[in-house]
Amino acid sequence: MSNVAGLKTEKQSRTGRSDENVGRARLGQGLPPVFVEIDRSSDHPLVDQICSQIEEAADRGALAAGTKLPSVRKLAKQLGVSAFTAASAYELLTTRHVVAARRGAGYFVLQRGSVVPPPARTPKATTVSDSWLSSDVFTHGRRFASPGCGWLPASWYSQKTVVGDALRRVARSKTDHLVNYGQPAGFDRLRQHIARELSERSLTVSPNQIVLTHGVTHAIDLVVRTCLRPGDAVLVENPGYANFNSLASRHGCKLLPVNRGAGGLDLDAAAELAETYRPKAMFVTTVLQNPLGTTLRPTDAFRLLSLAEQFDFLVIEDDIARRFGTDYDPWLAAMDGLSRVISVNGYSKTIAPSLRSGYLACNDALAQEILQTKMLTGLTTSEITERIVLEVLSDPNHRRSVDQISTRLTQAREAYRPVLEDAGLTLLTEPDGGMFLTAGWQVTPTETCNARRIAEDALKEDTVLAPGDFFCVSPPETIWFRFNVAHQDTEQLQNFLRDVPKRYGFAG
């Protein structure tokens, strides 16, 4: 017999086990009769055994709507359990809207139409829409080969036991934080930890300059809401981080593309744009940029800060990939002392994306303004999550886990590059590290032959791609994609990519 006994007809129940560990009760008077059976030797709680079987019978129609169930006392007696156990099972079934309690009459199975059915499987994606990278890929990317996604495979997080241990320690601590609002700026001990860590890495900052968020995207949203107004001009990398471009555009900002490529950031063009449009901010990823994987040269970093001072604009620095870079990479926040730089960071790559936690660091006055925006738009962040993050960061195994991820990324890039080149693609730039490679064909996009059309064909073959135009403000001149090296479904991907030139009629 399985751990949780299945519902049985009368004939089946006569041939099943019958000993002191087994209890059985008939449900209703219909034919064929339906029985619920419990096993007291099972690891599964008795209440769960009872509930799962009654709910399954109702779902498949074995218990018709309106069927009266045994009373609490009768069910308890037949199963050989306490009245408390039987009552608890009925109470749970009532909260799940499987049965209804009628005062003085008992418990009855609800109409199937009154029970919200389980969500149907999301239909398979067939189009690469404008919301593909910001939303749809999270729905469909887990089913298929996913070189176009932006996250690491779950198997890469070797510290799952570290996270589990941290969760248990937080659950065992005093319970007020399990039910109360968090602190407006975020859990103070985590902000102190972050401040000490940043200071050790040459950025002197106080906890009051740090606001905890639900991750980097939330931090960016708070900065956009606080610092920018509809109609404001914003300098952005081209190609650059798709989420920022979408957020700023939705906010009504005018995006000014500054090309970034193998030669670095085109700061001559940035200076001309700044002179003409007087932007309020620039968004930049200094280390291991998404999608190119390149790191800003120190000379470019100094000149960018000089332009920011000359034309009086803020610099929003996405710092999420710094942990996978080197100690010698330029750091705008440290170079500027958070005078006009806002640094955003998070833990989705180094701890786990399920723990939605991140932070922003900026000058004191701006931190207070952003804090007000945070409270007005979403109140506090989860202190439970922030306590778990602090426990993980304080665990010596965490640093070793991040080092392992960094090593695996290096190995994966080295293995991925020949796969793309063998399929006839050319790298846009030589990456300095990180999760991504960008590669494509030196072919001008047309209405019938472009990255989105190719990505939609890939979907038909259960492969998720990230077209280059999602990262660009101005249309790309060639057909290219961003590839996540951590998702090495290489044979399937290589076979598809090899076929693209022939399918679309151009030379690979």
Please give the Cα distance from 333 to 107 (Å, whole number). 64
Asked whether residue 123 is assigned to any structural domain, the reply reads: no
Mean pLDDT of all residues in 408-426: 92
Can you give the CATH number for the domain in which 60 is found? 1.10.10.10
Can you give the CATH number for the domain in which 366 is found? 3.40.640.10
Residue 115: pLDDT band by 50, 70, 90 thresholds?
very low
pTM of the predicted model, to two decimals?
A: 0.79
Mean pLDDT of all residues in 475-479: 92
| Strands of 426-427's sheet in order across | 426-427, 436-441, 479-484, 466-467
Please give the Cα distance from 179 to 50 (Å, whole number). 30
pLDDT digits (tens, 9 = 90+) for 205-246: 999 999 999 999 999 999 999 999 999 999 999 999 999 999
- Whether 338 shows a pLDDT value over 90: the answer reads yes
Residue 189: pLDDT band by 50, 70, 90 thresholds?
very high
> Are 387 and 413 members of one domain?
no
Which residue type sits at 82? S
Lowest-pLDDT range, 167-181, 350-364, 378-392? Answer: 167-181
Asked whether residue 201 is assigned to any structural domain, the reply reads: yes
> Are 45 and 33 members of one domain?
yes
Please give the Cα distance from 259 to 239 (Å, whole number). 7
Can you give the CATH number for the domain in which 420 is found? 3.90.1150.10
Mean pLDDT of all residues in 127-154: 71
Asked whether residue 126 is assigned to any structural domain, the reply reads: no
- Which among 138-152, 209-223, 442-456 has the top mean pLDDT? 209-223
Residue 7: pLDDT band by 50, 70, 90 thresholds?
very low
> Are 22 and 45 members of one domain?
yes
Give the distance, in angstroms, between the CA of residue 97 and the centroid of all CA atoms in the same chain.
31
- Whether 332 shows a pLDDT value over 80: the answer reads yes
Closest by CA to 405, choosing from 157, 183, 199, 205, is 157
> Are 206 and 316 members of one domain?
yes
- Whether 272 shows a pLDDT value over 90: the answer reads yes
pLDDT digits (tens, 9 = 90+) for 49-103: 999 999 888 888 888 888 999 999 999 999 999 999 999 999 999 988 889 988 8
Asked whether residue 1 is assigned to any structural domain, the reply reads: no
Confidence (pLDDT) at 436: 95
Please give the Cα distance from 72 to 49 (Å, whole number). 16
Mean pLDDT of all residues in 345-369: 93
- Whether 273 shows a pLDDT value over 90: the answer reads yes
How many domains does the structure of the chain reveal? 3
> Are 187 and 136 members of one domain?
no
Q: Which of 377, 394, 411 is the last residue of a domain?
A: 394
- Whether 166 shows a pLDDT value over 70: the answer reads yes
- Whether 143 shows a pLDDT value over 70: the answer reads no
> Are 142 and 182 members of one domain?
no
Confidence (pLDDT) at 485: 93
Asked whether residue 124 is assigned to any structural domain, the reply reads: no
> Are 165 and 146 members of one domain?
no
Mean pLDDT of all residues in 2-7: 42
Confidence (pLDDT) at 112: 59
- Whether 312 shows a pLDDT value over 60: the answer reads yes
Q: Which of 394, 428, 462 is the last residue of a domain?
A: 394
> Are 92 and 236 members of one domain?
no
Give the Cβ contact number of residue 38 at 10 Å. 26
The three-state secondary structure class of 302 is helix
> Are 222 and 75 members of one domain?
no
Domain interval for residue 39: 10-114
Confidence (pLDDT) at 149: 86
> Are 328 and 382 members of one domain?
yes
> Are 72 and 184 members of one domain?
no
Q: Which of 394, 421, 437 is the last residue of a domain?
A: 394
Confidence (pLDDT) at 13: 43
Mean pLDDT of all residues in 247-263: 95
Look at 228 and 507; give whichever has higher pLDDT. Answer: 228
Confidence (pLDDT) at 173: 79
Asked whether residue 121 is assigned to any structural domain, the reply reads: no
Asked whether residue 369 is assigned to any structural domain, the reply reads: yes
Are 322 and 355 in contact by the 8 Å Cβ rule? The answer is no
Parallel, antiparallel, or unpaired: how do β-strands 281-284 and 233-238 relate?
parallel
Look at 197 and 19; give whichever has higher pLDDT. Answer: 197
pLDDT above 90 coverage of the chain, percent: 60
Confidence (pLDDT) at 12: 41
> Are 148 and 178 members of one domain?
no
Q: Which residues contact 309 (CB under 8 A, 6 or more apart)?
A: 340
- pLDDT, averaged across the chain: 87
Asked whether residue 95 is assigned to any structural domain, the reply reads: yes
